[in-house]
Amino acid sequence: MCGQFEASIRARQMLAEIDESQIVDLSDVVKPTLAAPILIANPETGKPEVAPMRFGLVPHWYRKAFKDWKATTFNARIEEADEKPAFKGAFRYRRAIVPAEAFYEWSGPKTARTKWRFTRADNAPLGFAGLWDEADCLEGGMFSFAILTRPAGEQMSAIHDREPIVLARDTWSDWIRLKPVDLTAPAPLRLANLDAPQSLF
**Which DSSP state fits 175?**
H
5-193 adopts what CATH topology?
hypothetical protein yedk fold (3.90.1680)
Does residue 118 contact residue 91 with C-beta atoms inside 8 Å? no
CA separation for the pair 175, 177 (Å, rounded): 5
pLDDT by residue (tens digit) across 113-162? 899 999 999 988 899 999 999 999 988 899 999 999 999 888 788 888 89
pTM: 0.90
Out of 63-67, 70-74, 81-85, 191-195, least confident range: 191-195
**Which DSSP state fits 75?**
E
pLDDT by residue (tens digit) across 174-191? 999 999 999 998 888 888
pLDDT by residue (tens digit) across 16-25? 666 555 544 5
